[in-house]
Amino acid sequence: MKGGPFPRLGAWVKLPAPESVELLALAGFDFVVIDAEHGAIDIRMMSTMIGVAHGCGLAPFVRVAGTAPRDVQVPLDAGAAGLFVPQIDDTARARDAVQATRFPPLGQRGASTSGRAGRWGLEGLADYLRSGNEEVRLVVQAESAEALSAIVEIGEVSGVDAVFIGPTDLAVSGQFPEGDGKLADLVAAAERRCADRGITLGTTASGDAPDLLGRGYTFLVLGADTTILRQAAHALVSGARTAAPEVLR
């Protein structure tokens, strides 16, 4: 794996707040995924959050909306440790993601050493190109039945570093009627195939983290900052109301 072992425990960041990144670092997370697909985070805020993550010792990933040059170029120039690219259903889309993420001759990413990725112009061009191709991690998201069926072929595309199984989009895809067991069977088969071929695999987790790690997952996203805040706030309020029901109605 590029740049050493893949960081193990992460969280989605959906709130446009650098403090969210800082708090997750203090909580002990290894990486964050700044959500530019579903979160309300603009380019300036994304860059600030990436810088804060680096300062806190977190690996900052960005979940992009797609493989358009601007979706990919901006977070990488801002110093993202890697990208999560959604809706990668086949090897053709995986190769598109590689082309957008890697410098020539491996891809078509544009070069600019004057940003954070180039240490604001201090890094020489050769080192900048090397780090972009050898250290930036590309995580492709498998979120359909087609992606699960082709997961090994997708994961073995040159330039892809890991595959992330996205359970939410799989569940709402309409391909799996509730209760028929097909989704669980497909995921289990995908897990076994990835383990057999040594493909780095990740997914979301909550209380099932030990089970998922035992099934061969290398890295887990444990939740979103929004969910963590809501759950903690709800627990505090519920605890207070339960302790003093006659006063706090």
Rounded-to-integer distance, Cα 45 and Cα 49, Å:
6
Specify the pLDDT at position 245: 87
Assess if residue 248 is contained within a domain.
Answer: no
Q: Per the domain annotation, does 234 fall within a domain?
A: no
Domain-embedded: residue 74: yes
Give the pLDDT confidence of 4-44 residue by residue, as tens digits: 789 999 999 999 999 999 999 999 999 999 999 999 999 99
What average pLDDT does range 95-107 have in this prediction? 98
CA distances from 118 to 27, 125, 128, 160 (A): 29, 8, 6, 22
User: Does residue 50 form part of some domain?
Assistant: yes
The reply to whether 147 falls in a domain is yes
Among candidate residues 106, 210, 200, 110, the one with its CA nearest the CA of residue 151: 200
pTM of the model as a whole: 0.94
Within-domain flag for 214:
yes
CATH number (domain holding residue 206): 3.20.20.60
Kindly report the backbone phi and psi dihedral angles of residue 179, in degrees, each rounded to the nearest multiple of 5, phi listed first: 90, 0
- Tell me the per-residue pLDDT of 133-157, one tens digit each, with 9 for 90 and over: 999 999 999 999 999 999 999 999 9
Catalytic residue numbers read 38
For residues 200 and 161, the answer to whether their CB atoms sit within 8 Å is: yes
Give domain status of residue 85, yes or no: yes
Residues found in the chain: 249
- Domain count of the chain? 1
Residue 205 domain flag:
yes
Q: How far apart are CA 204 and CA 141, in angstroms?
A: 11
Q: Where in the sequence is the domain holding 140, given as residue range(s)? A: 9-224
